[in-house]
Amino acid sequence: MELRNKTAIITGAGKGIGKAAATALAKEGVHLGLLARNRAELEALQATLKDTYGIQAYVASADITNKTEVDQAIGNLISELGSLDILINNAGIAQFGTLLDMESEQWERIIQTNLMGTYYVTRAALPTMLEQQNGSIINVASTAGERGFATGSAYCASKFAVLGLTESLLQEVRKSNIRVTALTPSTVNTDLALNAGLKIGDEDRMMQPEDVAELILATLQLPQRVFIKAAGIWTTNPQ
């Protein structure tokens, strides 16, 4: 599918997978709405993408755990873009600890960001796609949404839930020509992984944000009549 002049909103766009996805889509001529909490990072990326690729790019800062902020930010971005063809729910956080060691506030924050944030953003964006009878939604989940591990109860629960949300939503909207996909990367060399204390090892051998962005691009370029329900991407030979 030709992506030039399509429109996309990306959450968590200031760094990591979100930034790489924004760059990959801009190269294809997609006009972008960039959403994250750090407006300075977004504005720097906005300037680079507009100057380098000649696309339109708009920014909005919001805490995706706050429905009011999300509704306003998504509404503003759609108004500026004029339409919405693609939504990439990428924003997320990670923190690890045993169920008893992790404070309930930390547990809830992960659920609020990774699950409720995805829900709030999708709920705000979906009416436009339904009105258009067309669109693509990609939810960036994780292999942690497919199997649990010790110290990962909160993160795994949030990503398992994102997979369930994706599965249910795709059944609701596919008759409206809206494609919904979940991506489940293993550990990616991002600030999120480093800040969470995950072992990256040899960076040259680890999955990079740009690798996930390539999968996002390939998913979107499929003919509109088909979609990938879920796709995993793994590092070939990690250290």
In angstroms, the CA 72 to CA 206 distance is 37
In angstroms, the CA 42 to CA 48 distance is 10
| CB-CB contact of 227 with 136 (8 Å) | yes
Helices 16-27 and 209-220: crossing angle, nearest 10°?
Answer: 50
> Which class for 50: exposed (0-12), middle (13-18), buried (19 or more C-beta within 10 A)?
middle
Annotated active-site residue in 58, 119, 120, 155: 155
**155 has catalytic annotation:** yes
In angstroms, the CA 54 to CA 119 distance is 32
In angstroms, the CA 92 to CA 147 distance is 18
Q: Which residues are catalytic?
A: 155
